[in-house]
Amino acid sequence: MHELGIVFYIIRDVKQVAEENSVKHVSKVVMNIGEVSTVVPEYLTDCWRWAADKEDLLRGCELEVQTIGAVSFCEDCKTEFGTVAHGKTCPCCGSGKTYLLRGNEVEIKEIEIKEE
Amino acid sequence: MDKVKVIEIKKSVFEDNNREADGLRAELKSRGVFLLNLMSSPGSGKTTTLISLINRLKGKLRIAVMEADIDSDVDAVKIKESTGIESIQLHTGGMCHLDAGMTRQGLDNLPLDGFDLVILENVGNLVCPAEFDTGSCTNAMILSVPEGDDKPLKYPLMFSVCDTVIVNKTDVLPYFTFDLDRCRKNVLARNPKAEIFPVCALSGEGIDALAEHILKMVKDWKEN
């Protein structure tokens, strides 16, 4: 359940941005979550509801998760392939010299504020 | 209809923690204190291994232990009673891991300049603690024989962040299908730099080599 710790980080960052922009209430936070980031989106949104509703700034604020597919790259044959399907082994040439290009993100993409 | 204003952030949620961790490491470096973050699953023998290790190292290094658990202080009390060294208990308030902020709060309760080595016994868990940089100078983990030699495949992040892997409970090797060579191969596939130490914390077998390795890491940290 590191999702709860991550939720506390999100709240800390969003609070800071809100303060810098004199925002009183945030209606939505959009997250980019990589497919192999080990964050479970359902746990994240459950923890979010519990923690966000304790803050005036975030009461009722929705957390939207946008998933980023995991893609790896093979150094030997220069192919890109899906990490979830093939792991660390290149499906084209069988090489193990591969690395993750994307899919490890746990980032706050943007926040939305409803204007009167 | 309400108008919606969007503020783009595009920031990793780990960024602040990583910065705090780097700051903590720099401070430890300037004070000559080596912080070792020890992780493992529950029941792998972290506390028993620590006691055996500390009893070998305490004549050579000034050591303190910070125990992190969701609740209770059984580990801190056990360490203090069995080794006589300074040991404090941190509670994570339900969280499955420690981060740099929590580690710093714990260190604030220790007279840091009096120690060469501080060992942080993280919450027993192979997933979450690997995600959060605690500000430690090195990460170590214990894999016990009954857990199986396939764990590096199932928990890749944990094994890629640890440069020291301790294989504990080698006395029960005859009763399990655990294969040390296969384990070594699986660990090195995740982290080619990893050093592997088979030990039996109860009998003390292999602990001397591990103690030497830690002594060397502390010495290198202080001198370089």
CA terminus-to-terminus distance, chain B: 63
Q: What is the mean pLDDT of residues B187-201?
A: 96
Q: What per-residue confidence (pLDDT) applies to B200?
A: 98
CB atoms near residue B166 (< 10 Å):
27
Q: How confident is the model at residue B202 (pLDDT cuts 50, 70, 90)?
A: very high
Q: Is B97's Cβ below 8 Å from some Cβ in A?
A: yes
Task: Give the single-character DSSP code of A31.
Answer: E
Q: For chain A, which residues make up each domain, given as ranges? A: 2-69+103-112
> pLDDT tens digit string along A35-92?
999 899 999 999 999 999 999 999 999 999 999 999 999 999 999 999 999 988 999 9
- Secondary structure of B78-114 in HEC code, one letter for each residue: HHHHHHCCEEEEEECCCCCCCCHHHHHHHHCCCCHHH
Report the relative pairing of strands A28-34 and A62-68 from DSSP bridges: parallel
Residues of B in contact with A109 (CB under 8 A): 8-10
Q: What per-residue confidence (pLDDT) applies to B149?
A: 96
Q: Is A108's Cβ below 8 Å from some Cβ in B?
A: yes
Q: Is B110's Cβ below 8 Å from some Cβ in A?
A: no
CB atoms near residue A12 (< 10 Å):
13
For residues A89 and A79, what is the distance between their CA atoms, to the nearest angstrom?
A: 11
> pLDDT tens digit string along B151-182?
999 898 999 999 999 999 999 999 999 999 99
Chains A and B form CB pairs within 8 A to the count of: 82
Instruction: Check A5 against B157: CB less than 8 A apart.
Output: no
Chain A closest-CA separation from residue B198 CA (Å) = 27
Question: Domain B15-142+203-223 carries which CATH code?
Answer: 3.40.50.300
Residue B96 has pLDDT above 90, yes or no: no
DSSP chain B: --EEEEEEEEEETTHHHHHHHHHHHHHHHHHT-EEEEEEE-TTS-HHHHHHHHHHHHTTTS-EEEEEEESS--HHHHHHHHHH-SEEEEEE-TT-SS--HHHHHHHHTTS-GGG-SEEEEE--S-SSGGGGS--S-SEEEEEEEGGG-TTHHHHSHHHHHH-SEEEEE-GGGGGGS---HHHHHHHHHHH-TT-EEEE-BTTTTBTHHHHHHHHHHHHHHHHH-
Residue B1 has pLDDT above 70, yes or no: no
Instruction: Check B6 against A110: CB less than 8 A apart.
Output: yes
- Which CATH code of 3.30.2320.50, 3.40.50.300, 3.40.50.1700, 3.40.190.10 fits the domain covering A2-69+103-112? 3.30.2320.50
Instruction: Check A107 against B127: CB less than 8 A apart.
Output: no
Q: What per-residue confidence (pLDDT) applies to A1?
A: 62
Chain A closest-CA separation from residue B223 CA (Å) = 34
What ipTM does the predicted assembly reach?
0.88
> pLDDT tens digit string along B63-74?
999 998 887 788
Instruction: Check A5 against B96: CB less than 8 A apart.
Output: yes
